[in-house]
Structure 1
């Protein structure tokens, strides 16, 4: 029999939800908070380069930085369709996790023989990320805080009992005080927090200081192999280079073979106004760790540098027919549901107001973590499908795509995770049917003490299931 979730059982008065959202604006807090930013000229004259990078998000920017550090004399051109960091890289939650596989369970189930290697490489990547923040002077509000996973339903308590860093109810509430938290597990080292938009802008600054030529408002319209390399075309000019990296995230791939490899799933976010000293004292959270619950439809939360609370997750909406469009970003029902769940979690903060609400499209693939590949005789490399956990993984992926362009096997390119492609999504309308049935089934499992129905069990057996 279905039961109400903790967020439903403790739902606040709808008038409190309406009041909390009344002054919010549909705007991305991080992009506003980053302040004035440099503008990079569009590409208007055809040119040549050693490496052309398509995409000005984290993957493209890390690829540019790594490429120049590997070979300072290499001429690198980066083309961004709009503005650096405006999409997923500027609007995510700012969790920089060590995991390269979207969590231990997903990694163990898909690449069990590589689990120890992937765990080691992920930890090394996070440490190297921290070293880069320090050595490159990236002003991105880096905090190595760790994460706290919390159980909010009785059946979830057992899932945490044998986890390192286990906390019983009293101990977890001493970390972050919520009447909904029944148990927890604290990972003190596997996550850092960053300011997403500032990270993107800082990477662009470092890239240009290293000599990378960055061009905004330069959407790439096509690729073709020519006698002396790969020609990358925009509406106004072309770049011909020996190597190309495609870092276009959720947007339609320039490679036809990858058009069905990812779908956009919209994730919704709220940001509170800065908490007062009294409000902070009411919830604790002195460790400032990242926070997430254990439901299939999970929530995530964190503090900002000025003590706002970012609260996101739960709804993961695939727009009918797919496609990325701004009209999908302001969804009153999702933001109201988030606000209700926030006030159920922290009833002591019933006077808090939300200043910003927004959404972003996650590049989801069927293995729930990045896939890789090459084309055009090995001269074009790509990575996509980070599925919402790309802040740290994009740094690793940048090394992978540069390795792939060399044509030499490295520890990274030898990984089965890197060599194999996930199962593509079916074309529409089958994609909408399957994705929405999966979402309905996950919601049903959350209302039935985690029990997965026959459809989810079939997906699990086929290697397409996901348990957050």
Structure 2
């Protein structure tokens, strides 16, 4: 297997290695045939959280995690660092499909998961810069303000949500909150929130407290170390070339290994598109990111983005950002096209036009950072199911489990998946095993060229929706048409 400079994968990997905490040296691969109770395919957060909770429930269980590169190589080590309560299928769509009770249970489970990640990293001593500061989603036009008001109103009527609308009225001490859960002063840090509105020229922002900022590479690499101390075997530089119930065929540097097991867990997210037995169940869609140089504290005070706070706005072509622990902007978004045949190559991780778009979007959102140097540019594929509906599934007859389809909302959802799969595999009936995503089966994506045309038309549609709203000042018809195709 060709040597890879893993520091080049993302700012997160580069900063982790640069700190001296982890030199990213691959662990040993498999040698010869193996016997284990559970074989987990994929060394990202889904696989590692599953291993963690399986071991917590049954320390005697033999578990082997097989990873083609190194733990965290995929989306787990390249994402935006949002540990949020977001689920790719909207709450309204879940209500329509499963009813109010199930939708509320799913939303509450996601909210609880944010705190569960924080609990585990504290208990296990994983220093991953976890700070729960919530998410600000800015409304920067009348159309976006209407969308923000509608989102907050729907959330306040639904149950577990504590979403609030922070408005410019807070500047004069008039409260500035538009939700039914109290005025803006109850949030704490109101002055900073108002400065963020001013810095972004926003009339309002929806504030969701159920999100934490963290350093994803520190999380995934730290979790790998924890499960190893629990007795889990992590075999890196070991590619899965074929799998079937109770057997996984691997190719490593020393040859092939056949792993015999009772349970196979497929935890490959977007990379599953290249794996036999998954293929068209998942579509790899690229999301790219940039990071700035560290910025001075006085600038951050001016911008109103505190440590722990993540941010976005109500545009349709998604952007997302955070203030890193070392005071950089880490900022990303969609815009990269889908590649023919679900192709995944290192060359797709970088796109000059998309990086230019992200730099413009960051400066448009925060003009004060126009002169900041961009020090890192990176990207990678996330996993999109045909109906944009994530799943945690297990077939006890075959012993095959699968989790994924997070559509970019996986940093926390992987934890919920790991807990859920552990309960399903352990044959425990819990509140998690009856959640509406359990054993959901998405339809397969169409064969080419329909897959290529549909995925890229969807990208063009979201871009067109933002242009349409800017020109007309009205909610986009294109976005309304795309809604059913994107889980909304």
TM-score, length basis structure 2 = 0.83
| Corresponding residue number in structure 2 for 1:325 | 345
**3-state SS of paired residue (1:448):** helix
1:373 and 1:381 in contact (8 A); partners too: yes
User: 1:234 and 2:250 equivalent?
Assistant: yes
* Aligned residues of 1:160 and 1:184 also touching (Cα < 8 A): yes
3-state SS of paired residue (2:280): coil
Query: Does 2:148 correspond to 1:166?
Result: no
The answer on whether the counterparts of 1:413 and 1:419 sit within 8 Å (CA) in structure 2 is no
Aligned with 2:48 (options 61, 66, 71): 61
The Cα offsets for residues 166-189 of structure 1, whole Å up to 9 and x where unpaired, read as 11136454235424322101122x
CA drift of 1:359 comes to 0.9
Say if 1:142 and 1:195, in contact at 8 Å, map to a contact too. yes
Q: Which residue of 1 aligns with 2:425?
A: 405
Q: Is the 8 A contact 1:177 1:285 kept in 2?
A: no
Match of 2:140 among 152, 155, 158: 152
CA contact (8 A) 1:267 1:317 kept: no
Cα distance in 1, alignment partners of residues 224 and 58 from structure 2: 18
Distance 1:436 1:340, change over 3 A: same
Contact 2:458/2:482, CA 8 A, preserved across alignment: no
Distance 1:286 1:231 in 2: 48
Matches within 5 A, 1:109-120: 109-113=96-100, 114-120=102-108
**Higher mean C-alpha displacement, 195-204 vs 432-441:** 432-441
For structure 1, the residue ranges without an aligned partner over 5 or more in a row are: 1-24
Query: Which residue number corresponds to residue 30 of structure 1?
Result: 12
Corresponding position of 1:13: none
Aligned to 1:432: 452
Cα distance in 1 for residues equivalent to 2:394 and 2:149: 43
Residues 178 and 327 (structure 1), Cα distance of their counterparts in 2 relative to 1, 3 Å cut: same
Tell me, yes or no, if the aligned pair for 1:84 and 1:201 is still in contact at 8 Å: yes
**How far did residue 139 of structure 1 move?**
1.2
Asked whether the equivalents of residues 59 and 394 of structure 1 are also in contact (C-alpha less than 8 Å), the reply is yes
Quote the offset at 1:239 in angstroms. Answer: 1.6
The count of aligned residue pairs is 435
Question: Match of 1:3?
Answer: none
Q: Which has a greater percent of helix?
A: 2
Q: For the Cα contact (< 8 Å) 2:89–2:486, is it kept in 1?
A: no
**1:146 touches 1:192 (CA, 8 Å); kept in 2?**
yes
Which range moved further: 167-176 or 333-342? 167-176
Report the counterpart of residue 3 of structure 2 in structure 1. none
* DSSP 3-state at the match of 2:341: coil
Listed as ranges, the gaps of 5+ residues in structure 2 are 1-6, 18-22, 153-162, 171-192
Work out which of the residue numbers 272, 275, 278 in structure 2 matches 1:252: 272
Equivalent-residue separation in structure 2 for 1:345 and 1:254 (angstroms):
37
| Alpha-carbon distance change, 26 to 60 in structure 1, aligned in 2, over 3 angstroms | closer
Give the aligned partner of residue 212 of structure 1: 232
